Chain A
Amino acid sequence: MSLTLPKNKKLLFYFAFGLAGFLLALTTKAYYTIEGCPDCGAYTGVVVTTGGTGDLMLDTDFVSSASFGYNDGVTDYWNIAERFVPFIDTRVCAVRAKIQYDPAQTDNGTACNPPTTGEQQIRLQISTGGSFPSYSTNYHPTAGTANISTCVSDIDPIAPPSQQVPAFVWFQFSSCWTAYAWQTYWFEFSLRNTGYQQAKFVAYQTAYNNSVGAVAFGQIATNSWLNLDNNWSFEIINNLSQGENEPFLPPATSSYGFTDKDFGLLGNMFRDVIVWLFFPDQANLERFGNLWDTIRLKPPIGYFTAAKDELALVGVGTANIAFDTTAAAGIITPLRTGIIVILWVLFAFWIFHRLRNLDL
């Protein structure tokens, strides 16, 4: 049996069919459960995986070489950062860091085992924009600036237990946030050994220099227990099942000024449907502003923007001369006031003259 409809109605039918399929696709979700993280909830999937193996990110890895091997004589720590530039707006709810030791590596030619002593601390910091992460230079992770919570009970980034860093560590943000398309985000992990000076941890790259009391900055040594080619990765994970600020969910009632109290038999069903269909959420509007911020200094627009920014500085600044005597001020100040009065009087005469001879 074939569908026999007039041409215009057939087109309408195909359009409605396509729209229904599109809406169905939007509501379809395949959930992803984090292994070993019972509190993390159901995730829709891993957005990106990055690191030594299978780098799916837009940009290249970034290793914060300025922090490599730094040793303040008390702690060893080691930072590694990833640049994350999403193609589309991306909800970020959790990050999984995979850190592994490499027992096959040697310590100055002598075979060594992974460290078994000391207290290890792993932390995550995030910065936006720029060509390098904010925390890469001599960043010393401190307990007071944690901006994440962890769902792994035996690894607390604030009060680390005395044990090794496991192969995998999950970080779950206290609330999901949106990484905007084409914006730069730096995910920087800091691994720290707080237990022993010279403790052999992931930051063990270079020999301690007794003469200067520190280990100089430098590239990671080949005898490191970390194998940067294979044994580390980050996964940035979204969690649309939390349902907050999801692009295609209704906006919060507070954002459009209605109270959330339902009434009558149908409650606010029709209102909610209309809002869901037509009310744009804030993130959708903000991305246009972010787009402008991205290109406002790019040529050729940037030439005009930069010139405009410079011209905005034109104005009456601070004088670098002053009256030598109060007598001079006694002359100049009334003179200035007199000029102001004269200017406004002349303006009034001009208005009077202009209106009297107005020929429309």
Chain B
Amino acid sequence: MITNALLLAGYGIISLLLTPLKVLADVSLDSNIHASILTARTYLANMNIVLPISTILAVFGLIIAIETFILLYKAVNWLIRKIPTIN
């Protein structure tokens, strides 16, 4: 009951804060955007006949993931070194 009451109170506050949004109309993007994305899908599909798009994306994804991990590792080490009592 306590958790339910807290959740209910939280929901009430969030719902109240979001009330102005609820009266607004839904956003709809221009139909040309949807059409352009469908066109891009077709181009990618045609390119995929020769170029392995999924493999290219996988290789680039792995490279970016590895580089990000190395960068984060260095950033954490740099932060640790800033603590005076740790060398």
Contact = CB atoms under 8 A, between A and B. Distances in A.
A127 to B, nearest CB: 18
Nearest to B6: A280
A265 interface: no
Q: Identify whether the interface residues of A are mostly helix, strand, loop, or mixed.
A: helix
B53 to A, nearest CB: 5
Contacts, number: 128
Contacts of B53: 316
Contacts of A276: 1
Given A294-B22, A339-B52, A350-B63, A279 B3 contact: yes
A319 B1 contact: no
A288 interface: yes
Contact of A314 (B14, B27, B40, B73): B40
Nearest to B63: A350
Contact of A343 (B2, B41, B52, B77): B52
A307 interface: yes
Interface in B35-79: 37-38, 40-42, 44-46, 48-56, 59, 62-63, 66, 70, 73-74, 77
Contacts of B3: 277-280, 284
B34 interface: yes
A303 B27 contact: yes
A315 B33 CA distance: 15
Contacts of B51: 336, 339
Contacts of A278: 2-3
B41 A315 contact: yes
B85 interface: no
Contact of A284 (B7, B37, B48, B73): B7
B21 interface: yes
A315 B56 contact: no
A32 interface: no
Contact of B18 (A291, A299, A314, A347): A291
A326 B75 CA distance: 54
B44 A310 contact: no
A114 B77 CA distance: 88
Contacts of B52: 336, 339-340, 343
A248 B6 CA distance: 12
Interface of A: 181-182, 247-248, 276-281, 284-285, 287-288, 291, 294-295, 297-299, 301-303, 305-307, 310-311, 313-321, 332, 335-336, 339-340, 343-344, 346-347, 350-351, 354, 358, 360
Given A280-B7, A343-B56, 7 more contacts: A277-B2, A279-B3, A284-B4, A287-B11, A306-B27, A313-B41, A360-B70
10 contacts: A181-B15, A284-B11, A298-B24, A298-B27, A299-B24, A310-B29, A315-B44, A316-B48, A319-B49, A339-B55
